[in-house]
């Protein structure tokens, strides 16, 4: 149990920042017009969670789903968070000199396509004992 705490502690602070940002967003429903300080605090917490773990870069999409109003109203309300995401991604590309990845990862898009298709087969084999069940069900849909 102690070993799992040491191995997984890099997730704790970014998760805390993300949860606080979610809480503030849901409680106060801030916009740049009515509550700039809360929006800035949520932006700061979002950036802290982005820097802590890249898996939390989906936070603007979660905020978009949880926001109220029409589609256009949601886009306007969530636009500062998406601008932060784009800025963070551009800064990350500048610092890493590209998309950034492990040294052995290939930048060819066909490799990602092959991996996605291959992982469906592996998932189907693990869940159903046959590689073609998920592929066949996706084809029928």
Give 37-89 pLDDT, tens digit per residue.
999 999 999 999 999 888 899 999 999 989 999 989 999 999 999 999 999 98
Are residues 23 and 48 both part of a single domain?
A: yes
Query: What residues make up the domain containing 126?
Result: 109-140
Whether residue 136 has pLDDT greater than 70: yes
Q: Do 79 and 135 sit in the same domain of this protein?
A: no
Question: Of 90-94, 96-100, 102-106, where does mean pLDDT reach its minimum?
Answer: 102-106
Residues 62 and 122 in one domain: no
Same domain flag for 117 and 57: no
Q: 100-117: per-residue pLDDT in tens? A: 666 556 667 787 778 777
Cα(44)–Cα(7) distance, integer angstroms:
26
d(CA 122, CA 96): 32
Burial class of 3 by CB neighbour count within 10 A (0 to 12, 13 to 18, 19+): exposed
74 and 17 both lie in a single domain: yes
Domain shared by 130 and 87, yes or no: no
Residue 140 has pLDDT above 90, yes or no: no
List the Cα angle 95/98/99 in 5-degree steps: 105
What number is the average pLDDT over the span 115-138?
75
Are 18 and 64 within one domain? yes
The domain tally of the chain equals: 2
Q: Is residue 13 in a domain? A: yes
Residue 18 lies in a domain: yes
**Shared-domain flag, residues 38 and 90:** yes
Q: Is residue 101 part of a domain?
A: no
71 and 12 housed in the same domain: yes
């Amino acid at each position: 149990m102690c070993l799992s705490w040491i191995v997984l502690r890099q997730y704790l602070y970014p998760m805390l920042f993300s949860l606080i940002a979610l809480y503030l967003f849901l409680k106060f429903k801030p916009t740049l017009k009515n509550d700039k300080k809360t929006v800035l605090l949520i932006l700061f917490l979002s950036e802290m969670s982005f820097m802590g773990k890249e898996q939390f870069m989906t936070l603007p999409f979660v905020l978009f789903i949880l926001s109220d109003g029409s589609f256009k109203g949601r886009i306007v309300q969530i636009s500062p968070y998406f601008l932060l995401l784009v800025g963070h991604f551009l800064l990350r590309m500048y610092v890493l000199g590209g998309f950034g990845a492990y040294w052995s990862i290939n930048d060819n898009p066909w490799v990602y396509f092959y991996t996605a298709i291959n992982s469906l087969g592996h998932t189907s084999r693990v869940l159903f004992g046959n590689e073609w069940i998920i592929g066949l069900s996706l084809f029928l849909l």
